[in-house]
Amino acid sequence: MSVVCVTGTSTDVGKTVATAALASLALASGKTVAVCKPAQTGVADGHPGDLHEIERLTGSCVDVLELARYPDPLAPDTAARRSGRPLLELAGVVRAIRDLDATHDLTLVEGAGGVLVRLGADGFTLADVAAALNAPTVIVVASGLGTLNHTALTASALRAAGVDCAGVIVGSWPDEPDLAERCNLDDLPDVAGIPVLGRIPAGSGALTQDEFHTGARTWLPDFEPRTHGPVHSGLCARTRKQLPPRPVRSTLSITKPVSSR
């Protein structure tokens, strides 16, 4: 059993597609996979969110769990208060992820926005979740100017929380990278102090399921989903195992009511 958290240097850097690619690699090595999204924001009830996108790209072999949903496109704690819906609690989130991990070889936890975005009650963040689970964390980053600083800050925040930084994934790599993007790719390991696990080509989220599974095996050559211990380099390239479909689940038992202000 293994939990890996996925965070980003900001919003819209490709966390969901990167999470799907990691899930695809685990499926390719014959592992059972779950993906948990503690807080989905900016999506109304009944509409497809990030987990739906992961299922579309990877197939029904992945078990997905969304713990809370808030319609406003805001940080989860703010969105919860505005909607009047319950705030997530750290202990409940950790418990739900552990329960999910108990029945899967690999459980991926996709955050919301950056690593210090407040997810719920008492201002807990994905860094707190990863620390409580002793889970290594992958950082999904942009390719252009500013990414060196953003990546270094994110890695520093994770280390300050006692979290192992498993590596960096460039979430959207252009067909024709400019000078800054090419230099950033070279500089990221030194600036952030962690390896670049790979680059996901821009537009990969629009691929068919078969195209996505084929591509994932080449995009992230330095990631191996292990069921025990930390993530390390080296890709296991076995045939993807077809597993029976598992339903999307949702629970509000890990939340507490919003206090009036």
Tokens of 128: 């707190």
Of the candidates 145, 144, 165, 146, which has an alpha carbon nearest to the alpha carbon of residue 155?
A: 165
Q: Which of 77, 78, 71, 139 is nearest to 110 (CA)?
A: 139
241 is catalytic: no
Catalytic residue among 31, 37, 241, 256: 37
Cβ neighbours for 222, distance < 8 A, ≥ 6 positions apart: 167, 195, 196, 197, 198, 233, 234, 235
What count of other Cβ atoms lies within 10 Å of the Cβ of residue 42? 16
CA distance 25 to 85: 36
Active site residues: 37
